[in-house]
Amino acid sequence: MAFSRDYTNKWGPQHQTLSADQSSLTIWLDKTCGSGFKSRKSYRNGYFAARIKLPAGYTAGTNTAFYLSNNEAHPGFHDEIDMEFLGTIPGEPYTLQTNVYVRGSGDGRIVGREMRFHLWFDPTADFHHYALLWNPDAITFFVDDVPIRRYERKSELTFPDRPMWVYGSIWDASDWATDDGRHRADYRYQPFVAHLDRFTVAGCASRAPPSCRPVPASPAGAGLTPRQYAAMRWAQQSHMVYYYCQDYRRDHSLTPEC
């Protein structure tokens, strides 16, 4: 798919290079700034994916993100669905943080719904496929077609249902990204370069007719298959390193789905 058909630069155009055939994008961070892109349309549901190869070496403090948000439409009261790759120091793994913000959580009174993983491969050595599937009944996060997390709609108050745009970016999140900010971005190692290709956008744009149907999560058309559930159990049992519902330091009155 041609990148420019569905996406446009959002910020840092001087740190963004599109291949001649528009199939692959390179974005990078240095001490002057990072870079980001945004979908041309907003969506009320959909399947959004890309292959990503992450920056290698010392990457502490960096955040390479692929996510959905409506912050520009609802500043201070937005929804968000995140896949964030949190940089690291050599010898330690990247952390993939998945997150869901609902109706303003994340703005001031932070109510994140984080689930974090250490991946079962080196995400800097090659491209891997990452996807977000946002349906009316659930949000599913995929890595190389393995569903690693399924966040179900249990109530209107705990599920994002307003249209969102798709974003990708690389930026300096030194204050929190790596070991709660203990390791910060070190620009002696700049530039921090991420490569993306095979962009996929499918689903219902905000202005699509009511007849537009969401993309199913499995060949069965509803929910996940037993094989997918087994793969998700494996991912969570073997590679999950944090789950907000199991963090008893938190006030779970703010996350009733737990």
Chain centre to alpha carbon of residue 150: 13
Residue-level pLDDT at 75: 87
Residue-level pLDDT at 111: 80
Catalytic residues: 80, 84
Residue 251 and residue 234: Cα distance in Å, rounded? 28
Residue-level pLDDT at 81: 97
Is residue 167 within 8 Å of 10, Cβ to Cβ?
yes
- Is the preceding omega at residue 163 within 30 degrees of 0, hence cis? no
The count of C-alpha atoms lying within 13 angstroms of the C-alpha of 47, restricted to the half-sphere facing its C-beta, is 13
Residue-level pLDDT at 220: 65
The pTM for the full model equals 0.95
4 φ/ψ angles, rounded to the nearest 5 degrees: -70, -15
Residue-level pLDDT at 142: 97
Q: How do the pLDDT tens digits run along the chain, 258 residues long?
A: 679 999 999 999 999 999 999 999 999 999 999 999 999 999 999 999 999 999 999 999 999 999 999 999 998 889 999 999 999 999 999 999 999 999 875 555 668 899 999 999 999 999 999 999 999 999 999 999 999 999 999 998 899 999 999 999 999 999 999 998 899 999 999 999 999 999 999 999 999 999 999 888 777 667 899 999 999 999 999 999 999 999 999 888 889 999
Residue-level pLDDT at 239: 98
Domains in the chain with CATH codes = 3-250 (2.60.120.200)
